[in-house]
Chains A and B, each alone.
Chain A
């Protein structure tokens, strides 16, 4: 900005070591005259006193008061001399004005870089030494004030050439630094406008009340800064330690072994990172494509899908929330809740704690060992299970197709047929009820009642306790040893029996066709004849505690076989023929009834 002088006392003065006005010097600045000067008006003044001085002044009294002239004069020991000009200057127009002492006898006046006046005078070699330098008036008082604006003042203790003056004209800063006495850029503000920016410490003193107004359009003279080089796109970045935050606006192409503290925010994709230790949150805007052996602390929230994450070991603390499907995971211990929105397709050796709730079907779950605590509810069929230990109830809606070595406690109620139950040993406690037939059973040990609705087809080595009541025919009973305790009631024909010991009474509704080695205890009551004894067969060992009685009116205890005989041993009762017409005879002469 420019400094405004508009009062009699307004000055910029310097009284301390002013430049020697009797030797070479240059003093310049920009000047604007806003109003026609009506009296002598000193712009620049180097002065010892009224009789010894160099002055640039404004002459405005001779025109139509719309223009003025810039004049130069010298006073040497009260001897005044000047060189006038006829060049008129315009009001409110900036002019660059420079006064140059080229020798002890010459002053030059330049206006806008052009020589206007050459003032030759008597020698100043012995002139009284300078006392002050001022701008805006004749002296340090109120003599000959100028109504002007002044900007960008410079002073040298040398006589600059016209070329140098032209160069200085369009730069605020001094171009010529040699012999620079001072330069005052007149930046606005009290005392600031008076500052010497040369570094020589020669400021003005402000007199009166100075103000600031619009300066001339002059550049300071610096140059725009252009970087000497620019890194090519995709350059490689080498190991770099950064403390504090690191923000890259572009892609971070490669980083090896970089230790960072603080946050890392990348606007672009993070392409590759090896063995990078990070503290603080990492928030990539783009997808994470590959990561190896990364230890993370704090939350990890990828916005995109985790398309492929290979981790030898990933330890996560806190919650892990995946917006997309979790495709594969090996040996990952997790704490806290895990909630996949998609299907869980494969999992090996996973230990679960807490609740596991599946929205989709368990398509294939292979577990070497699965221990479940609490309730396991399957909405679909349970296809295969090996060596499963279950506690609590197991409710099946579908068929149980195969079961090997299953120990069951509590009730077992299959709704469907037990098509094949193989049990090397099947121990059942409590009752077993079948709605369908039992097709094969090997050595089942049953306790309690066994009630068959259908035929008992084959029974091998069956030990039965309690009553056995087959509703159908015992078509084939093979028993190496058949021990029955309690009553054996057969509604049908008892066809064959080998070696059967019967305890208790034996009642036969039909004929007893063959009896081999049967030991009867108790009463043998025959409703019909005792017949068809095998020829030569002796009914022996009839231990009859009771009577062998033929009760039929026409019946007879007849030994029809010629060689048959009835031996009654240990007969404590009688062998009597109760029938009036019956007899106890040996029909055949060779038969006989012997009472032993």
Chain B
């Protein structure tokens, strides 16, 4: 496996509403995802050459206060190839979300854990595509029971190279 992109809070982009707070946790920039409202952040990259095989997203997170329960995240891809029929100034074309969960958050708030999500739905992404990646906390998922905010430190995108 090879690392293809590292997405950080400082490089996150936000929708007009329902977005995670860009804040600091012990002076570490984080995105704070709410427990009751599903919030989304985006990142934009150009898919590098050599992009191949199975894709994985690795989410590094910690809870703001919860010491029990679980969390669930959705990762979705919008891969635009040259000439695609997507009106970028009026619409989006994300593929179906890929959901990953952690059934048990760390027993100590602030401890970092990682959730690995296989990106089966990757919008047929290929090298040189304009790729937009969305990350959202799936607060409606049965596993997402942890109370309070979940801090996301980074998201790593891997391929099979």
Do A225 and B13 have beta carbons less than 8 Å apart? Answer: no
B111 to chain A minimum Cβ distance, whole angstroms, is 21
Min Cβ gap A183→B in Å is 14
Q: Are B10's CB and A231's CB within 8 A?
A: no
Contact B3 A227 (CB under 8 A): yes
Interface residues of B in 1-55 (CB under 8 A from A): 1-17, 19, 21-24, 29, 43-46, 48, 50
In-complex Cβ contact of A217 among B5, B16, B24, B43 (8 A): B16
Is A357 an interface position by the 8 A CB rule? Answer: no
Flag if A220 contacts B11 (CB, 8 Å): yes
Which listed residue, A215, A226, A249, touches B5 by the CB 8 Å rule? A226
**Cβ of A309 under 8 Å from chain B:** no
Q: Indicate if the CB atoms of B5 and A187 lie closer than 8 Å.
A: no
25 A–B contacts from the bound complex (CB under 8 Å): A1-B23, A187-B23, A188-B23, A188-B24, A192-B24, A215-B21, A215-B22, A217-B19, A218-B14, A219-B22, A220-B11, A220-B29, A221-B10, A222-B8, A224-B43, A224-B45, A225-B6, A225-B8, A226-B45, A226-B46, A227-B4, A230-B2, A230-B48, A230-B161, A233-B161
Residues on the B chain within 8 Å of A215, using CB: 21-22
Contact B4 A217 (CB under 8 A): no
Contact partner, B11, options A189, A192, A219, Cβ 8 Å: A219
- Is the beta-carbon distance between A226 and B29 smaller than 8 angstroms? no
A188-B24, A214-B21 as given contacts; A224 in contact with B161, CB under 8 Å: no
Query: In A132-149, which residues have CB < 8 Å from any B CB?
Result: none
Question: Is A227 within 8 A of B48, CB to CB?
Answer: yes
Question: What's the Cα separation between A231 and B101 when bound, in Å?
Answer: 30
The yes or no answer to A77 lying at the interface (CB within 8 A) is no
Question: Contact size class for A?
Answer: 20 to 34
Contact assessment for A225 and B5 in the assembled complex, using a CB-CB cutoff below 8 Å = yes
- Report the Cα distance A379→B11, complex, angstroms: 80
Q: Is A99 engaged at the interface, CB distance under 8 Å to the other chain?
A: no
Report yes or no: B4 in contact with A226, Cβ–Cβ below 8 A: yes
Complex interface residues of chain A between 201 and 256 (CB less than 8 A to chain B):
214-215, 217-227, 230-233, 249-250
The answer to whether B44 touches A250, judged by C-beta atoms less than 8 angstroms apart, is: no
The answer to whether A224 and B8 have CB atoms under 8 Å apart is yes
Q: How far is the CB of A44 from chain B (nearest CB, A)?
A: 23
CB distance from A92 to the nearest CB of B (A): 12
Within 8 A of B (CB), among A238-295: 249-250
Using Cβ atoms and an 8 Å threshold, which residues of chain B touch A250?
1
Contact partner of A230 (CB less than 8 A), chosen from B4, B9, B24, is: B4
Q: Would you call the interface of chain A mostly helix, strand, loop, or mixed?
A: loop
Q: Report the bound CA distance from A219 to B16 in whole Å.
A: 11
Question: Is A586's beta carbon under 8 Å from chain B?
Answer: no
Chain A interface (Cβ within 8 Å of chain B)? 1, 172, 187-189, 192, 214-215, 217-227, 230-233, 249-250
CA distance A187 to B25 in the complex (A): 10
* Contacts between chains A and B (CB distance < 8 A), count: 71
CB distance from B16 to the nearest CB of A (A): 6
Q: Which residues of A contact B48 (CB under 8 A)?
A: 226-227, 230
Please, which residue of chain B has its CB at the minimum distance from the CB of A226?
B5
- Which residue of the partner chain, among B11, B16, B22, contacts A223 with CB atoms under 8 Å? B11
CB–CB B1/A249 < 8 A: yes
**Are B2 and A231 in contact, CB atoms less than 8 angstroms apart?**
yes
Whether B7 contacts A224 by the Cβ 8 Å rule is: yes
> Do A217 and B15 contact each other (CB < 8 Å), given the known contacts A187-B24, A222-B8, A224-B5?
yes
Query: For residue B2, which residues in chain A have a CB less than 8 angstroms away from its CB?
Result: 227, 230-231
Question: Which residues of chain B are near A172, meaning CB under 8 Å?
Answer: 22
CB-contact partner of A220 in B1, B12, B50, under 8 A: B12
* Residues of the A chain whose Cβ atoms lie less than 8 Å from the Cβ of B6: 224-226
Give every chain B residue within 8 A of A223 (Cβ-Cβ). 11
Q: Which residues of B contact A220 (CB under 8 A)?
A: 9-12, 22, 29
> Across the interface, which residues of B come within 8 angstroms of A217, CB to CB?
14-17, 19
Question: Using a CB-CB cutoff of 8 Å, which residues 49-88 of chain B contact chain A?
Answer: 50
Measured between beta carbons, the chain A residues less than 8 angstroms from B10 are: 220-222
- Nearest chain B CB to A169 CB, angstrom units: 14
Closest A residue by C-beta to B50: A230
Bound complex: CA A189 to CA B24 (Å): 9
| Among all A-B residue pairs, the 5 with the closest Cβ atoms | A217-B14, A222-B10, A220-B10, A222-B11, A230-B2
Residues of chain A lying within 8 A (CB to CB) of residue B43 = 224
Question: How far apart are the CA atoms of A211 and B5 in the complex, in Å?
Answer: 36
For A249, the chain B residues whose CB sits under 8 A away are: 1
| CB neighbours of B29 from chain A (8 A) | 220
Chain A positions within 8 Å of B16 at CB level: 217
In chain B, what residue has the closest Cβ to A223?
Answer: B11
**Min CB distance, A269 to chain B, in Å?**
17
Measured CA separation A226–B158 after assembly (Å)? 11
CA distance A232 to B4 in the complex (A): 13
A226: B residues at CB distance < 8 A: 4-6, 45-46, 48
A221 to B44, CA, bound (A): 12
Which residues of chain B have C-beta atoms less than 8 A from A225's C-beta?
Answer: 5-6, 8, 11
For B52, give the chain A residue with the smallest CB separation. A233
Chain A residues whose CB sits within 8 angstroms of the CB of B50 once the complex forms: 230, 232
Taken together as a complex, chains A and B put the C-alpha atoms of A225 and B3 apart, in Å, by: 10
Residues of A close to B1: CB separation below 8 A: 249-250
> Which residue, B3, B19, B21, B50, has most C-beta atoms of chain A within 10 A?
B21
Q: Which of A1, A192, A231, A232 contacts B21 (CB 8 A)?
A: A1
Nearest B residue (CB) for A217 = B14
CA distance A563 to B64 in the complex (A): 150
A53 to chain B, nearest CB (A): 33
B17 surroundings in chain A (CB, below 8 A)? 217
Expressed in whole angstroms, the Cα–Cα distance for A188 and B29 within the complex equals 11
Instruction: Name the distance in Å between A526's Cβ and chain B's nearest Cβ.
Output: 122
Bound complex: CA A230 to CA B161 (Å): 8
CB proximity of A192 to chain B, nearest CB, Å: 7
Most-contacted residue by chain A among B13, B19, B22 (CB, 10 A) = B22
Given contacts A219-B11, A227-B48, 9 further A-B contacts (CB under 8 A): A189-B24, A219-B12, A219-B22, A220-B10, A224-B6, A224-B8, A226-B45, A227-B5, A230-B2
